[in-house]
A and B are shown apart, each in its own frame.
Chain A
C-alpha cells in the first residue's frame, strides 16, 4: 500500500512566512500621570537635598548649584521632566562629592593648625586661613620666627594668629 506509507509533507499555508501585520495600537493612550507624579516627587526630593547642601556649604565658595531652566513657567513634557530630574540628581551628586572632598581637606588643615601650635618649628612659614577650614572671616594662623632673623637663627618659632579682617576704612 504505497499510497498510505508515503509520508505526506505538511503544506505550509504561507511559504514565505506569515504576512507582517501592522502593530496593534493600544486601545487608549497610556496614562502618563503616575509617571509624572513620581517625577515631580523626585524633583521635590532632589530640590530639598540641593537646598540642604547649599546651606551646608555656606560660607565656602566655588560650589555650583544651578540647574538650567527649561523655559518655564510651563507644563513640562514627560521627557523634559526626566531630564530635569537627571540634571538635578547629577548636580546633587557633584555638590555632595565636592563638599565631602572639601571637608576632608578642612579637617586636615584643622589637624595641621593643632600641630603648628604644638610644634611650630616643624611647620616653618606655614599659613592657614579661615577659608582653608571652611569658616567665615579673615583669621589666619601663620608660623613665623620670634624676633625676626634672630629667631630664624635660634630656631625660635611661634604661631601668629591674625586679629581678623582689615577695616573697610582706616581707623577714625
Chain B
C-alpha cells in the first residue's frame, strides 16, 4: 500500500480563470526516479494496449473526458486533429505500432495514467522548479524554462513563480524536465470543464503508484 501523496491545487491567472472557470492545475510531489520499467509495468502496458482497438479510437472522441479535452484544445486555438490530445495521441500510436511501447518508467507511468483516465499528465524535476505551480499567459519576450525557445505572447503555460515550465499542449522545458538523475518529481494534471476531479486525482495517483512499483 503506497501512501497517497498530497494533492495541491495550483494557481490560475485571473484572466485565464475568467475565460475558463473550470480550468485547474493539480500537482503532487513525489520522491521517485525513472529508469527502465520493471516487467510488471511492461505487462500492464501490454494489457492496456489490448484494450485499444480501432473502434475504441473512433469512438474515443465522444467519451466524456477525452471529448472535454478535445473541446478545450479547440477553444485555445489548437486543432485536435493535428495537435492531438495526449490520450488520442497514445491511442493512435498504439494502432500505428501495434502496441504501447515501453520507453522508461516515468513515460510508461504517464501513458498508463493517461489511457486509464483520459487526463493529460506532465512531469517536472521538483528540485528545479518553484514551490507554487500554476497556469498563466506568457508576457512579451518570455523563454520556455527561462532560457529555452522564445514563446509568443499570451500563450497558455504551466509556470512557477519565476518562469514558464511547459506549454499547455505538452512541451516541457528541457532544463526543468525529468532526467535520469532526478530524484524528486512534480507531477501535474490539467483539469478542464467536464472533467471530474476524481479522474484527475486518479491520474496523478496512478503515476505515483506506478513509479513506486518501479522504485
Contacts and interface: CB of A to CB of B under 8 A. Distances in A.
A67 to B, nearest CB: 6
Given A51-B61, A52-B62, A73-B167, A84 B74 contact: yes
A44 interface: yes
Nearest to A40: B75
Interface string B68-112: 001101111111011100000000000000000000000000000
Interface residues of B, number: 29
A172 B83 CA distance: 42
Interface in B143-165: 152, 154-156
B199 interface: no
Interface stretch (B11-19, B29-37, B39-47, B122-130): B11-19
A69 B152 CA distance: 15
- A-B interface, 9 closest residue pairs, ranked by CB to CB distance from nearest: A72-B77, A70-B77, A69-B79, A73-B168, A72-B78, A73-B76, A72-B76, A73-B156, A51-B61
28 contacts: A40-B19, A43-B71, A44-B71, A47-B71, A51-B70, A55-B61, A55-B62, A65-B81, A66-B81, A67-B81, A69-B78, A69-B83, A70-B78, A72-B76, A72-B78, A72-B83, A72-B155, A73-B73, A73-B77, A73-B156, A73-B167, A74-B76, A74-B137, A74-B152, A75-B15, A75-B19, A76-B75, A84-B74
